A and B are shown apart, each in its own frame.
Chain A
Amino acid sequence: MTEKLSADNLTLIRGERCLFEGLDFALNSGEMLLLEGRNGCGKTSLMRAIAGMLSLETGQVLWNDVPVLKQRQTFHGALVWLAHRTGLKGDLNMLENLHFEQSLRPQSADDHEVVYDRLGIERLRRLPLRSLSAGQQRRVALARMLLADVPLWLMDEPFTNLDREGRKLVMTLVEEHLAAGGMCVMAAHQDVEINAPVTKIRLQ
């Protein structure tokens, strides 16, 4: 089954500033949308608007040609959100955090151990998250993303706090996800090299 994320004439005003106006895009299964631009140009706002967390001045985001605000749960059941703030609880350990996420969205039947091994977090499972480094916490957030069975990945600055190896891993994961028919919207302020069909939007 192929899926489609599209946007029609998006305009967003935050406070006094118009961040973007009349923005359109369409994204199909296996494709990636890359949002580029300097810090503060509205990448995160656009991501949040796509996820349905910001209300737009004009226009709408569509999932399979239906406005997402009319099918919020269906749409949210098809995406996972990876942002600058990981959304993981520092007081809880990795397993407790990931266990909670299972009730929030469809879960893949993949073996968890394989995912943990691949991300190099298999030894961290019983430690409270606040005792981990920022990079390790980010890897736990990536585990949450991999364990969800959803077509759409929304990634806001996914490379933050990751080392070179980690950044490479993220790119490999995205490539595999796209190859398997998934789709990805990514906001990044550095150049992204990827071996997949990419649409770029540069925000001013």
Chain B
Amino acid sequence: MWKFFHQLASPPHFYRLAAIFSPWFLVPGIALIAYGVYAGLFLAPMDYQQGDAFRIIYVHVPSAYLSLMAYMIMAISGGIGLIWRMKLAHAVAAAAAPIGATFTFLALATGSIWGRPMWGTWWEWGDPRLTSELILLFLYFGYMALRGAIDDTAKADKASAVLALVGVVNVVIVHFSVEWWSSLHQGQTLMKEGGPAMDPGMLYPLLAMIFGFTLLFGSLLLRRVRTEVLFRERRTRWVREMIMSPEGQ
């Protein structure tokens, strides 16, 4: 088992494995998303309060969930990179950041679009989830800015790992403090996800979307890590040999 992990961590090995696994994530992911989109938009019944507007949760909820998940992956792999000095872990963290930021942005945008018919405004400061999500976006910006500002890759890896670990503790505190804050200002409990018994016709497409998005995320992450590994190892022998070889990958 340990040997397997050790092998996985070696860049050429990972590079080949990722190429094999990436489609295994991508194809079922796309299939689930296709089902989810169709079922969510056409099959699921209309919400008796929100009308058709609720259907945006099929994008919003998976994005919001993945925005947090990507940050976790970033922080955990950063920590692994710091402690065990595993270079691949740093490449994973570097690759996860822009994907996570994109999902965060998607969650914010869909939340805002949903808010327009519901609250009559594009942005509602009173909603704790949107506010936390916005702070999360800023955390991603800070992380990517720090990476961009340091020229030396090894140094950027380590510095940004420290930042991500500090940030992950903060995400929890942000969540609770924003909840407290919005409860002071007559917390409008606006988006109650998975509240009292969702209609199965609504729920199944949502689950399909969540799994589909996760698989898509996995595939995107594998692809990005591959590129990252290739770039970082550009001076090594295996990359040169691979490029020179007739198949060329």
Contact = CB atoms under 8 A, between A and B. Distances in A.
A40 interface: no
A55 interface: yes
B145 interface: no
B154 A55 contact: yes
B235 interface: yes
Contact of B235 (A14, A16, A55): A16
A15 B152 CA distance: 6
A45 to B, nearest CB: 12
Nearest to A14: B152
Contacts of B151: 15
Contacts, number: 6
Q: How large is the interface on A (under 10, 10 to 19, 20 to 34, 35 or more residues)?
A: under 10
Contacts of B235: 16
Interface string A153-191: 000000000000000000000000000000000000000
A47 B85 CA distance: 22
Contacts of A14: 152
Nearest to B154: A55
A16 B234 CA distance: 10
Contacts of A15: 151-152
Nearest to B152: A15
Interface in A86-130: none
Nearest to A15: B152
Contacts of B85: 55
Interface string A12-49: 00111000000000000000000000000000000000
A55 B90 CA distance: 16
Interface in B61-75: none
Interface in A41-65: 55
Contacts of B152: 14-15
A55 B235 CA distance: 20
Interface string B133-175: 0000000000000000001101000000000000000000000
Nearest to A18: B235
A60 to B, nearest CB: 12
Contacts of A55: 85, 154
Nearest to A57: B154
A55 B152 CA distance: 13
6 contacts: A14-B152, A15-B151, A15-B152, A16-B235, A55-B85, A55-B154
Interface of B: 85, 151-152, 154, 235
Q: Which 6 A-B pairs have the closest CB atoms?
A: A15-B152, A16-B235, A55-B154, A15-B151, A14-B152, A55-B85
